[in-house]
Every structure is written in structure tokens, then in C-alpha cells.
Structure 1
Amino acid sequence: MPDNAFYSDRIGQSLPRTREEISALAWRGIAVLIQQRLDDGSLARAFPEYNCPDDPGRNTITGTDRKNFLHALEAHVPRLTEPRSAPDDEWGIPLPSGIPLDPDRAPHTTTALDVIDFVAPHIDQPRYSSRHNWNFAHSHYTFNTSERDPFIDGPLTPGQARFQDDIEQIFRRTGIAFTLGSDMRVHRLGPPEARALISDFRPNTSDPELDALLNDAVSRFLSRVPADRQDALEKLWDAFERLKTLELGGQKSNSIAQLLGNAAPEPLRVELAKEFKALTDIGNQFRIRHHEHDRHAFPNDDAKDYVFIRCINLIAHMLRQTGRMHET
């Protein structure tokens, strides 16, 4: 479904994608979407059911084995069916969790995203070979002989592309700041002001260690695990310090001066030098690379995001201006 499928999108009144919790509304849409994929055979290749009376050899797929699917889902996402901790019944015993994929019982955000991560790689596009209208009418499903490995770069299958689009539409319409990537895994979008910058960030500095630090920092920044944001900031600060010696490979002050001279004329060069100094001061005052008692802790994750975006924006500008960024 295109981004402008709804009137509110076309007139610029769609919800901003800033929410990092799966709401009850979003979960209902996700649960119903997965139920649809169970019904239409999209999960039948991974969890086949063989119920054709005329095929005792069990070579003909007739649908999705829901029991096996739910067993596998519960084993991989055990928190989905944990008993409710509240409210308790009058005897003080926790109420049962109910059925898996209950649209009316939204799990924790991490659990909901784990469900998508489990389901997405197993999606395939079935085609109907025939309709068996006798002996308990049912459909026979066949699939393409080749199946795309979600962990290897390559085009998505039609079924995966459709599932990705449907999940993306639910996220978009409910303001969720996550996305289902081409690897069929859920990723964090990050703050709106950073998305364009991050999507085009492809360092090519001729320094493999610097490139690795920068790419690792971005990957951790987009992780849906909040604790990874601290790791992202530390990796980025290591990269920032290494960037300062990029031109001369050693003498920091002379290297920064040369880097600034290659990146910008006066008076912008002076302003960029001030930004280098300001970010260096932040790194010295807060718990990024140093964790002594006199270093300040960040008050929340939003503050970490702000500092990360400020630093990577400067790094990206310097790399682009000196021809050290892959063209996108």
C-alpha cells in the first residue's frame, strides 16, 4: 500500500512516527495480519499441514499447521504466553495469559517486535495448484522451488515484500518509530531529525578501523534495545577521536587544522572548529568514554540521542566535504 493511500497522509496530517512502544491499537493490527497469513497459506511452507485424504504419502500441502506454528512461536518468544501479573483473581492466583496472538492482549513492546522477527522470515508467497472439492474440500498449495535466505542480501520474495509493506503501513498509521528492514528484521528508525542523515551515512574514509567504528555506532544507535544507545555513543566518540588524526595519522592538532582547511573556507571553518571543541568538552564532561565519579551521567536516552546526532552530523559533513563518503 503506498504511503499516500489515506487522505490524512495526502494532506500532511498523518501521525508523526515518534512512538517507540507498540500500542494496543498497533498490536491488534499486527495480530490480525499474522492471522491472515496463517489463513492464506503464507506460512504453510515453513509449517505445512498435510490433510488430503487422497495423498497418504503426505506430499501435498493443504494449509498451515497452526499447532506447530504456535508451538514454535511460543518456544522462540516465550514471554508471549506468560501469565498475567495483574489483575489477580480473588484467590490471588495470576490469571492465565490466554491464547497466543490474542489481538486484545497487547504484550510488551520487545515481545511484540520479537513476534514480527519470528514470523517475517518464514513468510512465503503460495500459489494454488488446484482446488480439491471432494473428500473435505480444501486447497493444495505449491511454492516456488527457490526460497530467499533473509540473512543474505537480495530481493525479497513477493510474499515477504507484501508482509513488509503491511507491517510498515501499521507502523506508519499508528506512529510507530520502527521499521521492518530488507533483512526481514525490525529496526529502530531513530529520532525524525536523524533519519535522512542515517539512511545516507556510508563512510569511505580509506581507514577501515574508522569506517568500522562509524558503521558499528550507527547500527547500535538503530538497535531497539535502549542499552545499545550508550554503546553507540561510545563507539561514535572513539570514531570522533580517530577522525581528528585522519589527515596526518598522528599529530591531532595539526591534523584537525588540515581537516578543517580541506572541509570549509573561512568563516565557516572557524565555526566548525568551535563545534569540534564543544563536542570534545561534552566527551570530557559526560560519561561517554570516561566513567570517573566526576563525570556527569546523561539524564535520559533522549539526551544521548541529541549528543549522538550532533556529533554524527559534524562527522558526516566533514567526510562529505573531503570526499570520504560513498555516494548514494
Structure 2
Amino acid sequence: MTPSDFYTDRMNGPVPRTHDTLPKATAEGLYSLFRSKARAHWLAQHFPEHCVDGNTISGTDLDALWSNVRAVIPEFKVASSPFGFQETQSDGVLLDLTEYAATRVARPIPGRWHEYMKHFELDFAEAPGRKEFRDEVNQILQRGGTMYELDAGGRIVRIGSPEVQQVIGQMAPASGDSTLDGLLVQAKGLYLSRKEDDRALALEKLWDGFERLKTVDVSGNKKQSSNVLLDNITSAEFREVTSAEMIALTAVGNQFMIRHHETDKHPVPEEAQDYLFARMGSLIVFLLKASNRLADLNR
């Protein structure tokens, strides 16, 4: 079942992705998924229990698995039973645990039946198993309305609001200015991080890219270069709107701790990060498109 296969999704549209913290049911669902995979030997390839009557894998060495989990994720709180759920587990620990599993799971395939020991010899399908696990994780995250996804590389990424997702999907700079393109690509990558500090740095890179964009047409003369950039907009009325938006966002960058960190600058509230990234990103994408500096993603 894909995340869109539920009746309510088909009738009402997908659940809004608005939660920056994991709802209780989502947190329990992620842990339950890890627990069920461990019990069903999806982690046996990495933590094998070998048959005593040979060298084949017959199950999972759960002691080795849990010892490794606690070593790699020191903040993991051990329950009275390894499979018990600790409600005090932080979101970060649960997302770390999900990433931990994503790069270690493999679907177990029963092989030859060992009659004497009464077990199957296990083989493993790694790539299909990891995709299946990723789909299950993303269904839990999507149905819980969270802003997180597990990507194909096994990393939890923060996808942000729908407006941020649209900007990131469209921002494919091809300006011919490697510094500008690099800043925008860095901003996109950093903003997918689930760490607030990375997202703050992404805003800085985005504003740096905006300032760079305002100078690429006439080097050394920002005002003249900005006018050349605006001249690419055919509608005179919308050219004025865009100019006003450029001035307004320049002021935001000067008033808040985005590019400057003097004592008279204001910190950007965490809840405003998506708004600012989407607003500045949309302006940059529009200016790149108007000046033919955006890659054609349909090629």
C-alpha cells in the first residue's frame, strides 16, 4: 500500500505535512516498525545468529543488535525489555534509529529447511528490502503529517512546507556563474537537514545567492546590475512589484541574523524559516527564469 492508497487521502487529499515534531502515534509507529523488522530477522544479515550445525544464518543475534544500537545511538533509552517502547525517547533518537535500520535492513528469504535444527537457512534481498522499509517509514511519516521523509540514501530529510518543496523542486540554477549556482545548490541541500542550525545556514546561503544574483550582469555596480536583471521582466507593472519585493527582502536580510550577526540584528524565529526560505526562494527562481538562467528540468 502506497501512502496515497487510503480512502481519506483519495477523498480529502493527503494529510497536510505540518508537524516539525513527531506525533505520539508516529513515534510509536516508527519504533514498532523497527521492532517488528528486528523480530522478523530483517537485521540478521548484519547481526547473524549462525546455526550450530553449520555456518548458515538461522536468525538474529539480538544481544549484538541491541548492544550496537546503544553504542551507535548513546541517547537511546533502554526499556525493561529491549522491545519495550520508551515514551521518553526523543524525536532525534527515533529518527536516528530509523536511519540506523535503513542502511542495515535486508528482506530475509527462507532457503533450505534444516530438519534437525527446525529452522530455515536464511538468504537476503538487500535492495528490495531497503526500498520496502523506506516505503513503510514514509507512509508512517506522511500519514502522521510530519515534514520528514526517508530518502533513497537512508537519510531522514526535512521536506518543509509545500511552498518550500515547490521552491526546492524548481531551483535548478544554470546561470553560468559557478559561485551563484553553488550557493543556491548548497542552500537547497542544507535546508533538507533536520537540524535547525543547518537550515539557518541554508537561509544565509540563499541570501548570499540573492546578493550575488543582483551583481552578475554589471560587475561592481549592484544598482545598475539589478536594473538589468529587472529588465528581463516584460510586464512593467510586475517589474515594479518584483523590485519592491527585492528591496523588502534585502531589508529582511539586514534586520535579521541571516547574513549579519551584529548585536542589533534580530534572530530568525524557527517557525519563520520555512516562510522566509519559500519567499526568497520563489523570488530567486522567478528572477532566474525571467533571465533564462534556470535549467530545463524536462530535458
TM-score normalised by length of structure 2 = 0.92
Please tell me whether the aligned partners of residues 141 and 148 of structure 2 are also in contact (alpha carbons under 8 angstroms): yes
Equivalent residues in 2 for 1:229-308, closer than 5 Å? 229-298=199-268, 300-308=269-277
Alignment of 1:120-135 (within 5 A): 120-132=102-114, 134-135=115-116
Task: Check if 1:45 corresponds to 2:26.
Answer: no
1:7 paired with 2:7, answer: yes
User: 1:12, CA displacement in angstroms?
Assistant: 1.1
Q: Is 1:43–1:123's contact at 8 Å kept on the other side of the alignment?
A: yes
Give the secondary structure class of the aligned counterpart of 2:113: strand
Query: Equivalent residues in 2 for 1:43-82 (5 A)?
Result: 43-51=43-51, 53-55=52-54, 58=55, 60-81=56-77
Instruction: State the one-letter code of the partner of 1:173.
Output: R
Rate the CA distance shift 1:256–1:100 in 2: closer, same or farther, 3 A: farther
What does residue 28 of structure 1 align with? 28
Aligned-partner SS, 1:325: coil
Tell me, in whole angstroms, the C-alpha distance in 2 between the residues paired with 1:297 and 1:4: 38
- Correspondence for 1:317 among 274, 286, 296: 286
Structure 1 residues 41, 101: CA separation in 2 closer, same or farther (over 3 Å shift)?
A: closer
Amino acid at match of 1:135: Y
2:180 maps to 210
CA contact (8 A) 1:22 1:108 kept: no
Q: Which runs of 5+ in 1 are unaligned?
A: 83-96, 148-156
Count of residue correspondences: 297
The Cα of 1:291 is off from its aligned counterpart by 2.0
Give the gaps of 5 or more residues in structure 2.
none
- Judge conservation of contact 1:23–1:106 (CA < 8 Å) in 2: no
- The one-letter code sitting in structure 2 at the alignment partner of 1:136 is M
Contact conserved, 1:18 with 1:192, CA < 8 A, in 2? Answer: no
Change (3 A) 1:285 1:123: same
d(CA) in 2 for partners of 1:46 and 1:79?
22
Which of 117, 127, 142 is residue 123 of structure 2 equivalent to? Answer: 142
- 1:126 deviates by 3.0
Bigger helix share = 2
The match for 1:152 is none
Cα deviation code 1:194-225 (max 9, x no counterpart): 21221332222222221121121122222111
* C-alpha distance 304-2 of structure 1, shift in aligned 2 (>3 A): closer
1:105 matched residue in structure 2? 87
**CA distance in 2 between partners of 1:101 and 1:80 (Å):** 12
Percent identity between matched residues is 35
Query: Which deviates more from structure 2 when the two are superposed, residues 14-23 or residues 158-167?
Result: 14-23
The 1:321/1:121 distance shift into structure 2, 3 A limit, reads same
Q: Aligned partners of 1:130, 1:315: CA distance in 2, in Å?
A: 60
Give the aligned CA root-mean-square deviation in angstroms.
Answer: 1.9
User: How big is the shift at 1:14?
Assistant: 4.8
- Counterpart AA for 1:63: G
**Runs ≥4 in structure 1, deviation > 6 angstroms?**
none
Give me the whole-angstrom Cα distance separating, in 2, the residues matched to 1:128 and 1:25: 32
Cα distance between partner residues in 2 of 1:74 and 1:272: 53
- 1:240 and 1:326 map into 2 onto residues whose CA distance is 17
Q: Distance in 1 between matches of 2:53 and 2:275?
A: 64
Equivalence for 1:91: none
Question: 1:52-100 CA deviation, whole Å, 9 max, x = no partner?
Answer: x431xx2x11122211111111111111126xxxxxxxxxxxxxx4344
C-alpha displacement at 1:13, in angstroms?
A: 5.7
Q: Which amino acid aligns with 1:247?
A: D
